[in-house]
């Protein structure tokens, strides 16, 4: 942990176990990627939602925003990647003790472009299968020109922090007789029935990797 990944405030639990880090990253779908941009003025923060995948001790980032990221710095760009899972609203007996149960990972570092063709092709497959496990096997391989026309960034999992808030509300002792109901409203990811594209032949069932798609313990 460096100075900037050390938690300075009391309360929520800081986690240093990479297993818990990876569990959060592997459950998440969307990262919020922050960078310092100089487009349109003085340096200012920009936060972009992006798809990602974890591959061992690095994150892979992908999506059209990656092009925007790389416009500013071909040789690598300093980013902060945050993945947050929301588990519950926490209702306490006073307003300011209300909270949220959540798990979040924050990663700092320099994201660099994956340029080796074979590595990039493999990274793109991993990105697809990270979001939808089993999907790559159902698809034609990416064409070389598709791989060439796509930007993938790699960010090492070296400087990171994990923060977790779990459990019931924590009230001040003098509030415990307040009449307000207290407890949790559990939240998670709802997954609906697959909706086939109109060109999928009638009567074609969705395959297992679609029907069984899920994320986290509620899925």
Binding mask 57-96 for its own copies (x = CB under 8 A): -------x--xx---------xxxxx-x-x-xx-x-xxxx
Task: Report the alpha-carbon distance of residue 34 to residue 78 in Å, rounded.
Answer: 9
Task: Report the alpha-carbon distance of residue 155 to residue 76 in Å, rounded.
Answer: 10
Binding mask 1-40 for its own copies (x = CB under 8 A): -xxx---xx-xx----------------xx-xxxxxx-xx
SS3 for 31? strand
Task: Report the alpha-carbon distance of residue 114 to residue 60 in Å, rounded.
Answer: 9
Shorter beta-carbon distance to its own copies: residue 58 or 169: 169
Q: Tell whether residue 212 is a contact of its own copies (CB under 8 A).
A: no
Q: How far is the CB of 119 from its own copies (least distance, A)?
A: 16
**Residues from 106 through 125 that contact its own copies (CB under 8 A):** 106, 108, 124-125
Q: Where are any strands of DSSP class E within 76-124?
A: 77-91, 99-113
Query: Which residues lie across from 58 on neighbouring strands?
Result: 55, 156
Q: How far is the CB of 48 from its own copies (least distance, A)?
A: 7
């Amino acid at each position: 942990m460096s100075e900037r990944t050390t938690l300075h405030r009391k309360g929520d639990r800081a986690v240093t176990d990479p297993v818990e880090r990876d569990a959060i990253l592997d459950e998440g779908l969307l990262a919020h990627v922050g960078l310092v941009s100089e487009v349109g003025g003085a340096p200012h923060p920009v936060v972009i939602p992006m798809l990602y995948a974890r591959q061992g001790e690095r994150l892979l980032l992908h999506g059209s925003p990656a092009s925007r990221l790389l416009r500013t710095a071909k040789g690598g760009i300093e980013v902060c990647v945050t993945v947050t899972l929301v588990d519950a609203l926490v209702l306490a007996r006073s307003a300011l003790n209300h909270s949220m149960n959540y798990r979040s990972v924050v990663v700092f570092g320099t994201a660099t472009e994956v340029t080796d063709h074979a590595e990039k092709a493999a990274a793109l497959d991993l990105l697809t299968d990270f979001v939808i496990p089993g999907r790559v096997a159902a698809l034609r391989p990416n064409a070389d020109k598709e791989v060439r026309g796509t930007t993938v960034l790699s960010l090492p999992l070296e400087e990171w922090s994990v923060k977790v808030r779990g459990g019931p509300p924590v009230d001040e002792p003098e509030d415990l007789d307040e009449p307000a109901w207290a407890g949790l409203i559990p939240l998670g990811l709802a997954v609906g029935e697959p909706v086939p594209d109109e060109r999928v032949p009638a009567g074609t069932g969705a395959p297992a990797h679609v029907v069984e798609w899920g994320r986290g313990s509620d899925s």
